[in-house]
């Protein structure tokens, strides 16, 4: 039987600190995403920033992951390894940042548009951000976990896009992946009741085409099987008395 860990006030302070660092690194690296920059350079920059905050990557070495952050371009869904690929005009670049600081993990992602003019791609990225917002709005004490899943899915599906099913959001705290798993789809009113002090990483991954994904030969990079664009946004949140507190801002 799995157990969802309820955080006390000290835990939440720790989670706020790690979440804040994750957000700062996300926003700083996002600003340096531009044509000609390699994904490896973005990873190196993130490593410097982690160090400056007295923090470390929560991803590096996780199940053997070789990067400081995940950088997933265009049809890349998640888990892209920073490397030689050069960002080009018209790309969308998903940055996933996991920080460990003071024994607590913060996890956040954003998708940056690099001079994108294709209206469908812009709509995909905006929809994914809105799906995350809808999930956060549904994440309130007393509601059920799948209310969050359903809220996310509804936004994506109404826009005509597909939510990725092979990867899900998760509980988070002293470990990056705690119970529960949080699918980005499903009927409402199911699963555990949300309680104040639960900390969750909500992370819709939305595909322009079909939901199917596959893993590339590097063993990590997950791409949309139909090679159509995919977007990813993530916040770490704490269930509170009223609306959820977003920790990664």
- Cβ 78 to Mg ion shortest distance, Å: 9
| Minimum distance from residue 107 beta carbon to Mg ion (Å) | 4
91 vs 203, beta carbon nearer Mg ion: 203
Q: Which is nearer to Mg ion, 41 or 232 (CB)?
A: 232
- Specify the residue, 41 or 50, whose C-beta has the smaller distance to Mg ion: 50
Closer CB to Mg ion, residue 179 or residue 226? 179
The yes or no reply on residue 81 touching Mg ion (CB under 5 A) is no
206 Cβ contact list (under 8 Å, min separation 6) = 124, 127, 128, 131, 156, 161, 162, 163, 164, 230, 231, 232
Candidate ranges 41-49, 50-58, 99-107, 157-165; the one touching Mg ion (CB under 5 A): 99-107
Q: Which is nearer to Mg ion, 101 or 121 (CB)?
A: 101
Nearest distance from C-beta of residue 192 to Mg ion, angstroms: 18
Distance (Å) of CA 3 to CA 29, 47, 139: 35, 33, 18
Q: Whose CA is closest to 206, among 148, 249, 167, 245?
A: 167
Does residue 154 sit in helix, strand or coil? helix
Compute the least distance from the CB of residue 201 to Mg ion, in Å.
4
Angle 60-201-106 from CA coordinates, rounded to 5° = 45
Closest to 182 (Cα-Cα) out of 139, 128, 141 = 139
Tokens of 56: 């470390």
CB closer to Mg ion out of 41 and 234: 234
How many amino acids of this chain bind Mg ion (CB under 5 A)?
3
Q: Residue for token digits 């090679």?
A: 227
- From the CA atom positions of the chain, what is the Rg in Å? 17
Q: How far is the CB of 203 from Mg ion (least distance, A)?
A: 5
Binding residues for Mg ion restricted to 14-43, rule: CB under 5 A: none
CB contact at 8 A, 59 and 71: no
Binding to Mg ion (CB under 5 A): which residues in 173-202?
Answer: 201
What is the rounded CA–CA span in Å between residue 153 and residue 147?
Answer: 10
Q: Does 107 help bind Mg ion (rule: CB under 5 A)?
A: yes
Would you give the binding string for Mg ion spanning residues 199-228, x where CB under 5 A is met? --x-x-------------------------
Which is nearer to Mg ion, 107 or 133 (by Cβ)? 107
Residue ranges that bind Mg ion, judged by CB under 5 A: 107, 201, 203
């Amino acid at each position: 039987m799995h157990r969802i860990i309820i955080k006390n006030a000290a835990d939440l302070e720790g989670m706020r600190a790690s979440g804040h660092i994750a957000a700062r690194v996300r926003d700083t690296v996002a600003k340096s995403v531009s044509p000609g920059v390699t994904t490896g350079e973005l990873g190196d920059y993130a490593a410097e920033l982690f160090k400056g905050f007295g923090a470390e990557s929560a991803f590096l070495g996780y199940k053997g992951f070789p990067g400081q952050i995940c950088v997933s371009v265009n049809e890349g869904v998640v888990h892209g390894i920073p490397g030689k690929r050069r960002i080009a005009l018209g790309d969308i670049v998903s940055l996933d940042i996991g920080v460990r600081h003071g024994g607590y993990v913060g996890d956040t992602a954003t998708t940056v548009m690099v001079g994108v003019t294709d209206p469908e791609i812009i709509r995909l990225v905006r929809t994914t951000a809105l799906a995350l917002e809808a999930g956060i709005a549904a994440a309130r004490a007393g509601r059920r976990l799948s209310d969050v899943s359903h809220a996310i899915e509804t936004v994506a599906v109404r826009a005509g896009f597909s939510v990725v099913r092979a990867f899900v959001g998760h509980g988070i705290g002293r470990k990056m992946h705690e119970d529960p798993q949080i699918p980005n789809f499903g009927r409402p009113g199911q699963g555990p009741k949300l309680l104040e002090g639960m900390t969750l990483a909500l992370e819709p991954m939305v595909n322009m085409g079909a939901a199917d994904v596959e893993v590339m030969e590097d063993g990590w990079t997950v791409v949309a099987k139909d090679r159509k664009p995919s977007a990813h946004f993530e916040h770490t949140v704490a269930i509170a008395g009223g609306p959820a507190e977003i920790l990664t801002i």
